[in-house]
Structure 1
Amino acid sequence: MNKVMKRTYSYAFLLPAAVIYLIIFILPTIMSFFFSLTRWTLFDWEFIGFDNFVTFFQEASLSIGFKNTFIYAVVTCLLKVVIGLLLGVLLTSKIRTRGYLRSVVFFPTLVSTIAVGIAFSMMMHPTLGLINKALEAIGIPAVDWLGNPDLALFSVALTDVWKGVGFATVIYIAGIMSIPEQYYEALQIDGGNAFQKFRHIIVPLSRSATNTVIIFAFIGGLRSFDLIWSMTRGGPGYATDVIASIIYKQYQAGFYGLATAGNVILFVFVALLAFPLNYFLTRKEVDL
């Protein structure tokens, strides 16, 4: 069998995956770019050029949506990195219940996002919620978690962290467990303590895990919609409106072409932030 036939034979195994990728991702992406230039319904369409993009950028709450999207992504990303790293260190230590605790930490990741949003909306109710009842029991005044414009976005972000930190923890556990034992033995010989172990071994040598968590968490935060919509629907006012919720409101109003243009803008916005971030993070990764 010559080289050409061998290469063709190898590529043949990739063909089914390539066809599926083409149908599920490439074609819908191309169609989205096209229909963003039209005024369309389920049965008809009319080409209108860049009018949808001009109209979308004139949306009154768009500047707030961009700001909220960025804040939400940064807050959830930072908290998932910090908490996930600390939990990863804890759950790779020699505590007896680490197997059970790993299951407990990862469990929220498996729960439906909408179910989590509804549950936490009830728990954060200003008068009947479980959280405020617990605060009042220890003498702390009740807080309007989702009704206060200054707190609503951060309340949803904390819920997102609770749900997603288990995934970050699993990545950190894998990263920490891949560190060779020789590093720990050398530190022990030199008389290093637990803090020095964390600072000089775990943090730098789990950089790949950190980069992975940052990329996934940041992109997830930029694209977040379902949790925010199920908890606040973008309110109060525009306090928790993000780009995705603004797009959904356009769909609800029947402006499908306008909403499609919003999706294209969100795609470009995420790409412009995610690709440079990924390049910046991965160029200095530590190879073990």
Structure 2
Amino acid sequence: MTKQAVGPRAGSDGVPDQRHARASHNRQRSAYPYWLYLPAAVVYLVIFLVPTVMAFYFALTRWTLFDSTFVGLQNFRDFFAEQNLRIGFANTVIYAVLTSGLKVVLGLLLGVVLTSRLRTRGFLRSVVFFPVLVSTVAVGITFSVLLKPDTGLVNRTLALIGVEGPDWLGDANTALLSVALVDVWKGVGLATVIYIAGILSIPRDYYQAVAVDGGGAWHRFRHVTLPLSRPATFSVIILSFIGGLRSFDLIWTMTRGGPGFTSDTVASIIYKQYQAGFFGLSTAGNVILFVLVTALVLPLNHFLSRRQVAL
């Protein structure tokens, strides 16, 4: 009895059933049954999609807890008419770029050190990561005390070596920078953990090849660690940049946007409107912040994704 070759199931006209092949391909592509995704989809719908749609609606109204009046785009006009909004936009971008850049550089350096053969590297990893676990408000209050011009520990320490420290949080030239450095101190631990994971995933064969060619520590870093840890770098950039654009609690705790409006960000401006009882105006500001973050992060993510694929 002659065996026939097994192929795709054919229809009545002899043409392979493309629908069967497509369904089989979809079954192979899906790792889990679709009903397993349902709880996550419900959570995503309730926590993200529904509030987002409601925010876009309430941004077009003047609302209180019990009433709302449709006003169209008036809230957006009023928000863009804020006198300190231009400063807030500039500070938001500067803050995000500065904090994300420093977290990338310091996180990479700490990641290299903490994946070396140091005997105390386990303890040092815990020390570096500890600030991430501390409440942001607690960090802000603590550093507000440490950075006081007359009684703060920082200026007292500088005075011991003959340096007169500035009013870190009360000077328009140093307020935003001071908050950004505290943000880096608090968040660099997470960047370091990401880099540690990325560096440990690099095959040891590459380092052995550099050693065989006579390369030293700099060559290992320049030709192996730096290029092969780019996926970790891209992750740190995206996470830190988004966090910087949305930053509010540390800025509000330490400076409340001052002195004047010099350290205001878009998020702190929104909160001030909410405090004043302009709920529709603050909701419109949240929508604008959402659009700003999306407009900046999506092209950045696309650019970094292309660079990663090109590796």
TM-score clears 0.5: yes
Offset of 1:17 from its aligned partner?
1.2
Contact 1:145 1:152 in 2 (8 A): yes
Pick aligned residue for 2:126 from 88, 103, 123: 103
User: What residue ranges of structure 2 are gaps of 5+ in the alignment?
Assistant: 1-19
One-letter identity of the residue aligned with 2:208: E
Letter in 1 for 2:59: S
Cα deviation, residue 286, structure 1: 6.1
Provide Cα deviations, 1:102-155, integer angstroms capped at 9, x if missing partner: 000000000000000000000000000011111111111122100110000000
Q: Residue in 2 aligned with 1:193? A: 216
- Number of residue pairs matched? 285
Identify the residue that residue 140 of structure 1 maps to in structure 2: 163
Which residue of the partner structure matches residue 300 of structure 2? 277
CA deviation vs aligned residue, 1:27-61 (integer Å, no higher than 9, x gap): 00000000000000000000000000000000000
1:186-237 Cα offsets, whole Å, 9 max, x none, are: 0000000111111111110000000000000001000000000000000001
Unaligned runs of 5+ in 1: none
> Any idea what SS the aligned residue of 1:283 has?
helix
8 Å Cα contact 1:56/1:262 also seen in 2: yes
Larger Rg: 2
Q: What does residue 75 of structure 2 align with?
A: 52
Please tell me whether residue 232 in structure 1 is matched to residue 255 in structure 2.
yes
**Percent of aligned pairs with the same amino acid:** 65
Q: What letter is aligned with 2:261?
A: Y
1:1-150 counterparts in 2 under 5 A?
A: 10-150=33-173
Q: CA deviation digits over 1:242-265, x for unaligned, max 9?
A: 000000000000000000000000
Q: Which of 201, 212, 223 is the matching residue for 2:235? A: 212
Give TM-score scaled by structure 1 length.
0.96
Amino acid at match of 2:109: L
For residue 123 of structure 2, give the secondary structure of its aligned residue in structure 1.
helix
Distance 2:55 2:225 in 1: 44
2-structure distance, mates of 1:203, 1:237: 42
Between 216-225 and 137-146, the greater mean CA deviation after superposition = 137-146
Distance 2:161 2:219 in 1: 38
* Contact map agreement 1:207 1:286 (CA 8 A) in 2: no
Q: CA deviation at 1:11?
A: 1.3
Query: Is the Cα–Cα contact under 8 Å of residues 53 and 261 in structure 1 kept in the other structure?
Result: yes
Corresponding residue to 1:253 among 247, 270, 276 = 276
Query: How far apart, in 2, do the equivalents of 1:80 and 1:234 lie?
Result: 23
Q: Which runs of 4+ in 1 moved over 3 A?
A: none
On the 8 A contact 1:125/1:132 being kept in 2, the answer is yes
Relative distance call for 1:201 and 1:161 in structure 2 (3 A) is same
Letter in 1 for 2:189: G
Q: Give the 3-state SS of the residue equivalent to 1:13 in structure 2.
A: helix
RMSD: 1.5
Deviations 1:80-107 (A, max 9, x none): 0000000000000001000000000000
The residue aligned with 2:10 is none
Task: Give 1:12 deviation, angstroms.
Answer: 1.1
Using CA pairs under 8 Å that are at least 6 residues apart, name the structure with larger relative contact order, 1 or 2.
1
